[in-house]
Amino acid sequence: MLDITFIREHLDEVEANIRNRHMKADPRSAVALADRRSQAIQKLEGLRASRNENSGKMKGKLEPEVRQSLIDEGKQIKDGIAAAEVELEVVEKALKVELMKIPNMAHPDVPVGKLDTDNPEIKRVGEPTKLGFPALDHVQLGEKLDIIDFEAGTKVAGTKFYFLKNEGVFLELALTRYVMDLLVKKGFTPYITPDIAKEEILEGIGFNPRGEESNIYPLEGTGTCLVGTAEITLGGYYADQIVDVSSGPIKMAGLSHCFRREAGAAGQFSKGLYRVHQFTKVEMFVCCKPDQSDALHEELRAIEEEIFSGLEIPFRVVDTCTGDLGAPAYRKYDLEAWMPGRGEGEWGEVTSTSNCTDFQARRLGIRYKDDAGKNRPVHMLNGTAIAISRGIIALLENFQQADGSVRIPQNLVPYTGFDVIRPRK
Element (H, E) at 333: strand 331-339
Is residue 210 part of the annotated active site? The answer reads no
User: By the 8 A CB rule, do 250 and 284 touch?
Assistant: no
Instruction: Single out the catalytic residue among 48, 275, 407, 422.
Output: 275
Distance of CA 418 to the CA centre of its chain: 35
Instruction: Single out the catalytic residue among 342, 363, 367, 390.
Output: 390
Nearest residue to 362 (alpha-carbon basis) of 375, 373, 377, 347? 377
Instruction: Single out the catalytic residue among 304, 349, 362, 389.
Output: 349
Is residue 352 part of the annotated active site? The answer reads yes
Is residue 55 part of the annotated active site? The answer reads no
Nearest residue to 264 (alpha-carbon basis) of 214, 226, 219? 214
Q: How far apart are CA 126 and CA 338, in angstroms?
A: 9
Instruction: Single out the catalytic residue among 352, 354, 363, 397.
Output: 352
Q: How far apart are CA 261 and CA 142, in angstroms?
A: 23
Is residue 67 part of the annotated active site? The answer reads no
Q: How far apart are CA 85 and CA 158, in angstroms?
A: 50
User: By the 8 A CB rule, do 343 and 378 touch?
Assistant: no
Torsional class of 307: left (φ above 0), alpha (ψ -120 to 50), beta (otherwise): alpha
Please give, one letter per residue, the 3-state secondary structure of 347-375: EEEEEEEEECCCHHHHHHCCEEECCCCCE
Is residue 349 part of the annotated active site? The answer reads yes
**Buried-state track 260-284, b at ≥16 Cβ within 10 A, e below 16:** bbbeeeeeebebbbbbbbbbbbbbb
Q: How far apart are CA 53 and CA 103, in angstroms?
A: 45
Q: How far apart are CA 267 and CA 257, in angstroms?
A: 24
Instruction: Single out the catalytic residue among 21, 260, 342, 363.
Output: 260
**Sheet strand arrangement including 224-226:** 196-198, 224-226, 217-219
Report how far apart the first and last C-alpha atoms of the chain are (Å, whole number). Answer: 53
Nearest residue to 249 (alpha-carbon basis) of 353, 366, 364? 366
Q: How far apart are CA 54 and CA 66, in angstroms?
A: 12
User: By the 8 A CB rule, do 395 and 409 touch?
Assistant: yes
The residues annotated with a catalytic role in the active site are 260, 275, 349, 352, 390
